[in-house]
Amino acid sequence: MTIFETENLLLRPFAEEDLNEAITLLQDKDFMAFSPNGTLDVEDAINRFYEILGHYERYGFGKLAIISKNTNKIVGYCGFEICTIDETDEAELGFRLVKNERGHGYVVEVASRLLKDMKNRNFKNVIAFSEEKNVPAHNLLKKLGFIKTFNSNFLNMDVVFFSKDL
């Protein structure tokens, strides 16, 4: 069930049949390089997968599988999840790509589309955060119109927070 299509990619909710592929991704050190938890063991990867599925079922949006039109394989995910920052629920943009698919502008391609979707859902503001040393992610967020708001420690990781008005 494709939700969005861009020039190079299809975006759709994850489905049960994606479980094994998701576990593989969540155990890949390059894919999980800037995660506060690093690579996940099988049990944690399964839990994270079902957390992603549950969020989509609960809110009608979430992290979507990014599928390459060239290979028809999942090359990452991108989307919004509700997270609590300083006791306030925020819609947070998150994304990850397999290493060999980075640098093609794919996240900008899909995130631009997802930002429009969040605006259509009447969100007025969204956030993102990234590990302090992840300069490529910071540059990508700036390209999407996010503005750096503050530095903090989140989930035992030094991060930079960004915000974007819709």
Distance, in Å, from the CA atom of 47 to the CA atom of 10, rounded to the nearest integer, reads 24
Mean pLDDT across the stretch 135-153? 95
Q: How confident is the model at residue 86 (pLDDT cuts 50, 70, 90)?
A: confident
**What pLDDT, on a 0 to 100 scale, did the predictor assign at position 41?**
95
* pTM for the whole structure: 0.93
How many Cα neighbours within 13 Å face the side chain of 114? 32
Across the chain, what does the average pLDDT equal?
94
Over the stretch 52-66, which tens digit does the pLDDT of each residue have? Answer: 999 999 999 999 999
Mean pLDDT across the stretch 71-75? 94
Length of the chain: 166
Which one, of 99, 106, 26, 107, lies nearest residue 70 by Cα?
A: 106
Which one, of 132, 136, 59, 57, lies nearest residue 95 by Cα?
A: 136
What backbone torsions phi and psi does residue 62 show, to the nearest 5 degrees?
170, -160
Complete domains list, the chain, with CATH = 4-165 (3.40.630.30)
Q: How confident is the model at residue 1 (pLDDT cuts 50, 70, 90)?
A: low
